[in-house]
Homo-oligomer: A and B are copies of this chain.
């Protein structure tokens, strides 16, 4: 399916087509408008605006939405709004330990979601199939209603949506993620490093609202970094921006292992709990972990100078128990420690970000000339 084919009247004149897109753009993200309101916002004549609103309503892209309360002598004027139910979006998170799918309407509002734990050594083909199975489960016989999808995964993902390198997921390097899923879903698919989707989600719906310059750090079994610059995920020249964990001198990748060693057969949460109670050995383990983590985060802060750092992933649940020592160690590395926050979206951050890039894709296809 092409998104533009949903626009009414492929046999319309080019100008009418352009005007149709202007009307749709005026209503896409905004409040409902009357015919006069649309004419005013778009600069179109009232008869043209009226004809286009009728045609877009017939094709299901707009829907009537109440009446303008201000009486102007005649009947109250009909208002129109974008029909977010005209299509669906999918957000897909293919991780090392779990696969998750989220379905939203065209405004990004959650319709349904499903998550399944998978073994870390699941082969690439079966991992991909798990995502498609979950999609079928979330949308039985309805994947044709999808307008676009976003996919996030740990690793370096190139601008074409292929995995250039993944150390966390076996057999994942070289998988043409966007292409494979796009072929099965028959809609545009964008794929990106999961942490980049998470930082976009935090910016639009989480703790990073109103901040356009954000560093996101996923801290769990593995570490992952996502960057937001000028409100957009920043992937770098080859998709590898944020891969500070590779630096041999910083020893960043080993940070979680110190904590895991202290946890032994138990859970990491128990170490944080003991630290909260002031137990010296746990405090020392958490502090060593925070110091190692701050080394890598500090390098990222010095490099890109973000306004905000968001900590996500499983460790984020420890809250200030982990945040405070990280901030303390950062103070000895950075000129100025940026605001440091725990993710408010938790494990949903990646699928929410994936829905957002799918929305951006729809917006680009509908409103950008090409």
Residues of the B chain whose Cβ atoms lie less than 8 Å from the Cβ of A245: 302
Cβ-neighbour of A306 out of B236, B246, B298, B334 (below 8 A): B236
Majority DSSP secondary structure for residues of A touching B? loop
Residues of the B chain whose Cβ atoms lie less than 8 Å from the Cβ of A249: 249-250, 295
Scan A238-259; emit 1 where CB is below 8 A from any B CB, else 0: 1111111111111000000000
Task: Name the distance in Å between A285's Cβ and chain B's nearest Cβ.
Answer: 20
CA distance in complex: A303, B295 (Å): 13
B305 close to A235 (CB less than 8 A): yes
B243 close to A302 (CB less than 8 A): yes
Task: Name the distance in Å between A309's Cβ and chain B's nearest Cβ.
Answer: 11
Task: Name the distance in Å between A140's Cβ and chain B's nearest Cβ.
Answer: 41
Task: Name the distance in Å between A248's Cβ and chain B's nearest Cβ.
Answer: 6
Task: Name the distance in Å between A289's Cβ and chain B's nearest Cβ.
Answer: 16
State whether A303 and B300 are in contact (beta carbons under 8 Å apart), knowing that A295-B249, A333-B248 are contacts in the complex. Answer: yes
B236 close to A304 (CB less than 8 A): yes
Instruction: Report the 5 A-B pairs with minimum CB-CB distance, sorted nearest first.
Output: A236-B305, A303-B303, A237-B307, A241-B305, A240-B305
Chain A interface (Cβ < 8 Å from any Cβ of B)? 156, 165, 213, 229, 234-250, 295, 298-300, 302-307, 332-336, 338
